[in-house]
Amino acid sequence: MKKLLFRISAVLVTCAIAYFVIIYVASLTGFANWLPNGKYTTGKGYYTLSRFREIDKFSNIDVLFLGSSQVYRGFDTRQFEQKGLKAFNLGTSAQSPYNSYFLLQEYLPKLKPKYIVLDLYWHMMTKEDVTESTVDLVSNHELTDNIVDMALTTHDYTIISSLISNFVSRVHTPLTKVREKKLPKEVYISGGFVESTVPEAELAMTNPKKAYQFRNLDSKLKEPSEFQLNYLEKIIALCKQNNTKLVLVLLPVTKEYKNNLTNYNDYTNYISTISKKNNVPFIDYNTRKGLSLSSSEDFLDKNHLSPSGASKLDQFVYEDLTSLGIKESSISSL
Amino acid sequence: MLFNSFEFLLFFPVVTILYFLLPHRFRWFLLLAASCFFYMFFKPIYILILFFTIVIDYYAGILIENSETKKKKKFYLLWSLVANIGVLAIFKYYNFFNDNITSLSEALGYQNHIPYLTILLPIGLSFHTFQAMSYTIEVYRGHQKAERHFGIYALYVMFYPQLVAGPIERPQNVLHQFHEKHYFDYDRVTSGLKLMAWGLFKKVVIADRLAIMVNEVYNNPTHYEGIPLILATVFFAIQIYCDFSGYSDIAIGSAQVMGFTLMRNFNRPYFSKNIKEFWGRWHISLSTWFRDYLYIPLGGNRVPKWRWYYNIFIVFLVSGFWHGASWTFIIWGSLHGFYQVFGQITGKSRDRIVDAIGLKKLPGLYKIIQIGTTFVLVCLAWVFFRANSLSDAWYITTHMFTGFSQSLDLIVHNGFVRQRYLFLDQTKEIFLLSFVVISILILIELFQRNRSLRLEVKKYPFPMRLVFYNIIILSILLLGSFSEAEFIYFQF
């Protein structure tokens, strides 16, 4: 028995050492892509790193946008600045309410936003697996208490392993020294917006050809997951505690996509119920009167807006926020 | 409790250490309590179903043995079989039959008023029911003495390593082992641990990694055609093998650590040269169960030819139905039945063709062709096993070999499409990694043709073995998928 225990201990100790050595070497040599559980996406997200580098320069803002890629492609903060509203777009890839909650824990005290606009795109509300979004945040954010909490709360080995990988890789390359990968035909705009530089004329020509995207249209939406609903409730409570007004939104998708969904109204009714129960406004921009978007020019694909689409949307968002009183609250706080 | 869970990582060493520390007379109680705890981790209330069949079969065994006339023995055997099959029928097949009665009544213009049962299928029900049935049948046949110790009999049905997914044991092999005293034996314990580690590797590194890609395609089959459908089907063949044989390895290994010997359940099935051989190497404990308790009672091959073919087909049809209350499983079983009967009927003609074209002069090539053909046939049948519905299965089989030029064009020219359609929604590295781990599996299976990897590893000094253990554990930690995936066979 003693021999067995000694040998098991030897195996465990050598494994622990080898584990850290492999992760360290993989991060040095760029071999990390081959390790699904040792991965980190530092500098390889859709400008998540740039967003976090910039966010510390902001404080006391009027509006903070949260959600997935639709958000960082849908809310052009320049448009809001022009109209006198200080805004920051904290949308990140596949960000679900689970992630938004921890980001709010981190940034509510620093940014002190008057309004938070949270997108509830159905794919994020129905998902239980938050690996992609959490690994993106863990990889591109300093490992603060809130970010570490977010990773550990998942109890997901891949995410926890990614946390370890990030910790180890930052020993030789601190986050400040990482160069963010620039994406072709995508530009980061100060304030968190990601702008596509594909000309509209080109979009109009290529979009109809993207037949593969329209073959993959969902026809039935799943029910929102208990897990995400729980974090949505937590976000609502957190905003109330901090006296910050929360607005729930659904950003527009192409008409083809929306019309293909047989239970779209079930989903929006579900969100409306939550909104009424908690006295939080909910605006569905797929059915917003006056907002007319062209699938070929105002969208990059089935659910992401092009800059022209974002520009059209943001006019309406500005109007809605104004009618909800964002201007009055800005003036009264002066 | 899952073998690939954090809970099992604590449960197994605690139970094993207590097992060796306790005096022999208390060990059965420890194992029984641990098995109850293990099972109740899934859904506690369902343990009552297990207790129900255990009590019935325990008394049935004694009554069969004590009965003096064959008629009485038969009566008690029937009593036990009806109870076991009744439980299966209620929990597993009731809603399936009700569904089909509804469809049939609607077609005939009637309404079906039989209510649906809103119950979940108890985990591993088909496995422990079959194991319990093998006991009463063997007592009836006089091959096994009725077990008088209720706790030991309960342990025979509930022994945690093989409780939820087998191997489906026979009383002659296992019951006596619960009475025997097992001592701590370093070589046996380490050998069991190695088998467990290899089983875990197959499960989390191969099966669960491939599952991500298979699920993407099989849950949205109409989004794909051609290459992705073929890839996903081949990946599923590997996935289900690694998932189930991985489970069996962990089960056999963990039992071995405590001194129990369970039967081998897989023997490199994808190296089979025909479907008959495949079934001699795949899920051996189930196929021999059907052989001993269904095929032979039906008359086996000692009957006229037509009747023999009928026997073969019925066994596979029932085997398909055993796997699940769905037409997809019935088609899967029937396909295998058809393969077997067709193989028997055409055996001589195929031999003549092979002779005529001189393929037998090239035995190596002939063997590769045989193995390849068997694998393709098995894969085609797996489509029905994995597909979510008959219409999905039909779509997949009819679109596997279409749309190649269109897909190739898109794959070559569009990175997004390449990732989605060639790499099945994974990164290039993870996709290629799947081939690396599959290659490792094939190499190890080839190596194990005449040798045992565990015995070979044992020949090296400890520092060398340490490297081997490190490789397997680090592969599990760095490459494994830990997304709470259950073993596929739990649902049966």
Cα separation of A158 and A152, whole Å? 11
* Cα Rg, chain A, nearest whole Å: 21
Whether the bond between B297 and the residue before it is cis, its omega within 30 degrees of 0, is no
Q: Is residue A234 predicted with pLDDT exceeding 70?
A: yes
Tell me, what's the pLDDT at A173? 84
pLDDT digits 0-9 by tens, A169-185 = 888 888 888 888 888 88
Residue A305 or residue B105, greater confidence = A305
User: Average pLDDT in the A295-321 region?
Assistant: 91
Tell me, what's the pLDDT at B328? 93
Q: Which residues of B are catalytic?
A: 323
Q: How far is CA B440 from the centre of its chain?
A: 22
Which residues lie closer than 8 Å to A263 by C-beta, 6 or more apart? A220, A221
Single out the residue of A203, A209, A251, A244 nearest to residue A70, CA to CA: A251
Contact A156 B462 (CB under 8 A): no
Nearest CA in chain B to A214: B223
**What are the φ/ψ torsions at residue A83 (nearest 5 degrees)?**
-95, 10
- Residues of chain A neighbouring B430 (CB-CB closer than 8 A): 36
pLDDT digits 0-9 by tens, A137-146 = 999 999 999 9
Tell me, what's the pLDDT at B32? 96
**CATH code for position A103:** 3.40.50.1110
Name the minimum distance, in Å, from the CA of A119 to any CA of chain B.
Answer: 25
- Residues of chain B neighbouring A158 (CB-CB closer than 8 A): 481-483
Burial level of B23, CB count in 10 A (0-12/13-18/19+)? exposed
Give the B-side interface with A, CB within 8 Å.
Answer: 20, 184, 186, 189-190, 209, 220, 223, 410, 414, 416-417, 420-421, 427, 429-430, 433, 462, 466, 469-470, 473-474, 477-483
Contact B483 A158 (CB under 8 A): yes
- Residues of chain A neighbouring B483 (CB-CB closer than 8 A): 129, 156, 158
Which residues lie closer than 8 Å to A332 by C-beta, 6 or more apart? none
Single out the residue of A319, A322, A295 nearest to residue A309, CA to CA: A295
Residue A6 lies in a domain: no
> Is the minimum CB–CB distance between A3 and chain B shorter than 8 Å?
yes
Nearest CB to A34 within list B20, B189, B429:
B429
Name the residue type at position B277: E
B426 three-state secondary structure: coil
Q: Is residue B280 predicted with pLDDT exceeding 60?
A: yes
Tell me, what's the pLDDT at B475? 93
Q: Which residue, among B217, B412, B460, B478, would best test binding to A if mutated, counting the most A CBs under 10 Å from its CB?
A: B478
Cα separation of B355 and A82, whole Å? 85
Contact B478 A156 (CB under 8 A): no
Contact A11 B209 (CB under 8 A): no
Q: Which residue, among A4, A11, A19, would best test binding to B if mutated, counting the most B CBs under 10 Å from its CB?
A: A11
Tell me, what's the pLDDT at B146? 93
Bridge partners (DSSP) of residue A189 are A193
Residue A133 or residue B115, greater confidence = A133
Tell me, what's the pLDDT at B486? 66
Name the minimum distance, in Å, from the CA of B60 to any CA of chain A.
Answer: 42
Task: Answer whether A232's CB lies under 8 Å from A120's CB.
Answer: yes
- Both structure tokens of B193: 């641990």
Tell me, what's the pLDDT at A87? 94
Residue A174 lies in a domain: no
Residue A82 lies in a domain: yes
Nearest CA in chain A to B194: A8
pLDDT over 90 percentage in chain A = 57
Q: Is residue A33 predicted with pLDDT exceeding 90?
A: no
DSSP B115: P
Tell me, what's the pLDDT at B422? 73
Tell me, what's the pLDDT at A331? 52
Lowest mean per-residue pLDDT among A14-28, A72-86, B156-170, B473-487: B473-487
pLDDT digits 0-9 by tens, B370-392 = 999 999 999 999 999 999 999 99
Q: Is residue A327 predicted with pLDDT exceeding 80?
A: no
Q: Is residue A123 predicted with pLDDT exceeding 80?
A: yes
Burial level of A120, CB count in 10 A (0-12/13-18/19+)? buried
Tell me, what's the pLDDT at B292? 93
Nearest CB to B430 within list A10, A22, A36:
A36
Q: Is residue B220 predicted with pLDDT exceeding 60?
A: yes
- Both structure tokens of B186: 């370093």
Tell me, what's the pLDDT at A18? 94
Residue A140 lies in a domain: no
Residue A261 lies in a domain: yes
Lowest mean per-residue pLDDT among A41-50, A204-213, B460-469: A204-213
In this prediction, residue A333 has a pLDDT band, given cuts at 50, 70 and 90, of very low
Average per-residue pLDDT for chain B: 90
Tell me, what's the pLDDT at B223? 80
Burial level of B157, CB count in 10 A (0-12/13-18/19+)? buried
Q: Is residue B410 predicted with pLDDT exceeding 70?
A: no
Contact B478 A212 (CB under 8 A): no
Question: What string of DSSP letters covers A201-235?
Answer: HHHHHHGGG-HHHHHS--SSPPPPPHHHHHHHHHH
Name the residue type at position B260: F
Which residues lie closer than 8 Å to B315 by C-beta, 6 or more apart? B290, B291, B294, B295, B298, B337
- Residues of chain B neighbouring A15 (CB-CB closer than 8 A): 469-470, 473-474, 477
Tell me, what's the pLDDT at B96? 84
Question: What string of DSSP letters covers A321-334?
Answer: HHHTTHHHHHHHT-
> Is the minimum CB–CB distance between A219 and chain B shorter than 8 Å?
no
Tell me, what's the pLDDT at A334? 43
User: Average pLDDT in the B336-350 region?
Assistant: 92
Question: What string of DSSP letters covers B230-284?
Answer: HHHHHHHHHHHHHHHHHHHHHHHHHHHHHT-------S-GGG-SSHHHHHHHSSH
- How many domains does chain A divide into? 1
Note every long-range contact of A290-298, with CB atoms under 8 Å and residues 24 or more positions apart, other chains counting. Answer: A290/A316, A291/A252, A291/A316, A293/A252, A293/A254, A295/A207, A295/A254, A295/A255, A295/A256, A296/A203, A296/A204, A296/A207, A296/A208, A297/A200, A297/A203, A297/A204, A297/A207
Task: Answer whether A90's CB lies under 8 Å from A192's CB.
Answer: yes
The sign of the dihedral angle between the CA atoms of B277, B279, B282, B287 is negative
Contact A212 B417 (CB under 8 A): yes
- Residues of chain A neighbouring B466 (CB-CB closer than 8 A): 10-11, 14
Q: Which residue, among B474, B479, B481, B483, would best test binding to A if mutated, counting the most A CBs under 10 Å from its CB?
A: B474
Name the minimum distance, in Å, from the CA of A93 to any CA of chain B.
Answer: 16
Residue A237 lies in a domain: yes
Q: Which residue, among B470, B479, B481, B484, would best test binding to A if mutated, counting the most A CBs under 10 Å from its CB?
A: B470
Q: Is residue B354 predicted with pLDDT exceeding 80?
A: yes
**What are the φ/ψ torsions at residue B287 (nearest 5 degrees)?**
-65, -35
Residue A145 lies in a domain: no
Q: Report which listed range, A71-75, B115-119, B344-348, B421-425, is most confident.
A: A71-75
Q: Is residue B296 predicted with pLDDT exceeding 50?
A: yes
Which residues lie closer than 8 Å to A327 by C-beta, 6 or more apart? A84, A85
Q: Is residue B235 predicted with pLDDT exceeding 60?
A: yes
Nearest CB to B466 within list A10, A34, A212:
A10
- Both structure tokens of B98: 């009700």
Nearest CB to A33 within list B427, B462, B478:
B427
Domain range for A109 is 36-129+181-323
**pTM of the full structure:** 0.82
Residue A171 lies in a domain: no
